[in-house]
Amino acid sequence: MIKSKRGDTLIEVTIAIGIFSMIAIAIASVMSSGTSGSQMALETTLAREEIDAQADALRFIHSSYISSKRFEDSKNTSQDSTNPYRNIWGQITSRANVIDTDAPAGEMPNVGQFSPTSCDALYDKESPDSLYAQKAFILNLRNLSDATQAVVASNPESIESEERFETTQTYPRVTFGSASNNSDTQGLVDSTDFTSLYKAYGIYIVGVQDADSTNISGTKTSAFYDFYIRTCWYGTDATRPSTISTVVRLYDPDVK
């Protein structure tokens, strides 16, 4: 006589499905968290590479100006036409913020602090802490020897300048090319232009001039400049901005 086998009850099946579902949800959550972490690590690495590239460009312009200045001094001549870095360094330092230490704290520009609650606020021309108010700029890494293209300055009065600086939803970066006005291309970027800086997404530089130094004759001057390279972007599925910044201090070669 063959005995019939007892099957699983509805309650047992329900419990098994529930346990399987909880395990599946836990695994999916861990995988999603790992993917988001990897994406954020990649974005952070790319942001640091962009910052390092701008920092190296600042040091290159500074050292190139010093080298050419020493050559000119040794020859007792000043050949501005053959020394483009004199002009480029002048453009960079002219963008530096001069902080009056004797001014009331409320009237001093807040260039030393960087903890934005929104990346969009940095691009608001009406904000006193915007990149426009702080005379921000970016360097054209592909044309550092051209005095007309090396420094791309922010200017709230210039539509062209305003369009060079934009927020980003991916990671900070500098792109190259030129916008085409040809109706056939519908304003797409001309990728054959390899030297023009097209846009700086989520990255810019703010300069601050030393205000407390005097030279050997007692004249108050600037002994150094601090350049804050800052980035702001929103990571994957992030509601708060991600920020990375660094500072490069360069001493003024014209101060003796």
End-to-end CA distance of the chain, in Å? 111
pLDDT digit string, tens, across residues 88-112: 999 999 999 887 655 555 444 567 6
Q: Residue 125 has what pLDDT?
A: 86
> Which of 30-34, 165-169, 171-175 is predicted least confidently?
30-34
Task: Locate 96 and state its tokens.
Answer: 């530096």
**Size of the chain in residues:** 256
Q: How many CA atoms lie within 13 A of 228 on its CB side?
A: 21
Q: Residue 106 has what pLDDT?
A: 47
pLDDT band at 39 (very low <50, low <70, confident <90, very high): confident
pLDDT band at 245 (very low <50, low <70, confident <90, very high): very high
Over residues 20-38, mean pLDDT: 71
Q: Residue 216 has what pLDDT?
A: 58
pLDDT at 167 over 50: yes
> Which of 27-31, 71-75, 76-80, 151-155 is predicted least confidently?
76-80
Q: Residue 21 has what pLDDT?
A: 80
pLDDT band at 213 (very low <50, low <70, confident <90, very high): low
Q: Are 54 and 138 in contact (CB under 8 A)?
A: yes
Cα–Cα dist 174/197, whole Å: 7
Task: Locate 151 and state its tokens.
Answer: 């420094």
Q: Are 89 and 61 in contact (CB under 8 A)?
A: yes
